[in-house]
Amino acid sequence: MSDTDRPIDLLVASLVAATPADEAETPPPLIDGVAPHEDMDRVGRAVEAMAKMVEPGREVLRTVPGPAIGPRRLDRFCDALARFFDFDEAQARQLLSRIDVPEEWMEGPDAGISVLPVQAGPGVQQALASLVRLPAGVGLSAHPHVGREQLFVLEGGFADSEGHVVWPGETLEMAAGTQHSMWGLPGPACVCAALLWLDGGDGGG
């Protein structure tokens, strides 16, 4: 794109060349050799180009911190978290309040990874339930799944060796018998809810 075709330059040029109706009898001066009707074409292109710039892509929005900060930044996931762990919203809210308390976390399976055990509801009692924190750039080595693995991202994001990229509000399920490695993506540490079904179980009821 040339300098003269940038959206903002096209719009400014069109405004400068605009002429009131009562002065229509006086031919408007050319702006950089451009006639008024050509300006209208440029306005249209400028508006169209700027419209495409209004809404960033989905992946970009996920990496922007935005206004959702502080101890209640994850409240929007309260209902979904309650369903995931099969308990009520009060328990989900209480669990979310523990995320920023360092003493609640214990060392995870690999260096740099932390785990917060969760007492889940009756529907998922056969699974190992926890929150997992995976800082950016930290990896969880390849591991097999004896039973189904379910992950629900609350903050940050992760990618895995199978090509999955998972962001807040999204889930990933790995079937029994599969394996993968995973790592935290740039940005805040990935915090995800996890259900690891044991003894070949899949949580299908």
Res. 8 pLDDT band, cuts 50 70 90 = very low
Q: What's the whole-model pTM score?
A: 0.67
Rounded average pLDDT over 123-129? 94
Instruction: Output the pLDDT for position 69.
Output: 77
- Which residues, including other chains, have CB under 8 Å from residue 57's CB and lie 6 or more apart? none
DSSP assignment string, the chain: --GGGSHHHHHHHHHHH---GGGTTSPPPPBTTB-HHHHHHHHHHHHHHHHTTSS--HHHHHHS--S--STTTTGGGHHHHHHHHTS-HHHHHHHHHTTT-GGG-EE-SSTT-EEEE----GGGTTEEEEEEEE-BT-EEEEEE-SS-EEEEEEES-EEETTS-EE-TT-EEEE-TT-EEEEEEPSSSPEEEEEEEE-TT--S--
Instruction: Output the pLDDT for position 16.
Output: 46
Res. 103 pLDDT band, cuts 50 70 90 = very high
Rounded average pLDDT over 84-110? 96
Which of 152, 148, 153, 151 minimizes the C-alpha distance to 203?
148
What domains sit in the chain, N to C, each tagged with a CATH number? 3-54 (no CATH), 67-197 (2.60.120.10)
Contact between 188 and 156 (Cβ < 8 Å)? yes
Q: Greater confidence, 138 or 54?
A: 138
Could you give the CA distance from residue 18 to residue 97 in angstroms, rounded to a whole number? 57
pLDDT tens column, 150-168: 999 999 999 999 999 999 9
Instruction: Output the pLDDT for position 57.
Output: 41
Instruction: Output the pLDDT for position 201.
Output: 58
Name beta bridge partners: 76: none
Res. 198 pLDDT band, cuts 50 70 90 = confident
